Amino acid sequence: KQEVTQIPAALSVPEGENLVLNCSFTDSAIYNLQWFRQDPGKGLTSLLLIQSSQREQTSGRLNASLDKSSGRSTLYIAASQPGDSATYLCAVWGNSKLTFGKGITLSVRP
Amino acid sequence: DGGITQSPKYLFRKEGQNVTLSCEQNLNHDAMYWYRQDPGQGLRLIYYSQIVNDFQKGDIAEGYSVSREKKESFPLTVTSAQKNPTAFYLCASSIPSRGELFFGEGSRLTVL
């Protein structure tokens, strides 16, 4: 059974910091991995999708990497801003099923 | 604009009542999903449908029912058999070959 872990559950950083959010999964036989952002009381917004054959994807200040062999993905946020404050979730497609992590709640202090 | 529309955004229900949450998408996606989100538990899959007139149970289908009569629509009924229905419900859709999931804004159900 696939398990997806995101640690820590919460993170607080000052504005301007570059930061890394981690996602680990137990079964490396995955189809793809997707990172989402969720604001309080809102739905999930897709940030980046990494197919299993890819190593990384970039969108603006965001960069996501995937290492299937070690069961890890990282979401790198450059020059963090207060508007980046949200919960970030990763989800892994594998064996015809999507498994979500519980998310990391990020707070960027002005 | 293409997207997924969920309604209502907020819904209050008395115990013993059935309620139906609407989910409509104009992304021309074949697959649609319903998730439930509770604090500290992450997202759990209720039902999913990969084609019209076909749907499958997810991990927590008991007390819920769905239909998929049109490609664009995937309504979820929360029945009185659901023991703890107060939660945030999220609808999603995807193109199966790509696997990228897109979500609606969610519906918050509160049982009084």
CA triple B82-B84-B88, angle to 5 deg = 100
Asked if the Cβ–Cβ distance from B101 to A46 is below 8 Å, we say: yes
Phi and psi of A28, rounded to 5°?
-80, -10
How many alpha carbons lie under 13 Å from residue B20 in its C-beta half-sphere? Answer: 9
pLDDT, tens digit, 9 for 90 and up, residues B41-95: 889 999 999 999 999 999 999 999 999 999 999 999 999 888 899 999 999 999 8
| Contact assignment for A103 to B90 by CB distance below 8 Å | no
**Which chain B residues are Cβ-neighbours of A36 within 8 angstroms?**
103
For chain B, positions 46-85, list CB contacts with chain A under 8 A: none
Nearest residue of chain B to residue A105 (CA atoms): B40
B111 close to B13: Cβ distance less than 8 angstroms: yes
Whether A44 sits inside 8 A of B100 (CB atoms) is no
- Grouping H, G, I as helix, E, B as strand and the rest as coil, residue A82 is helix
Question: pLDDT tens, position by position, for chain A (110 residues)?
Answer: 899 999 999 999 999 999 999 999 999 999 899 999 999 999 999 999 999 999 999 999 999 999 999 999 999 999 999 999 999 999 999 877 889 999 999 999 99
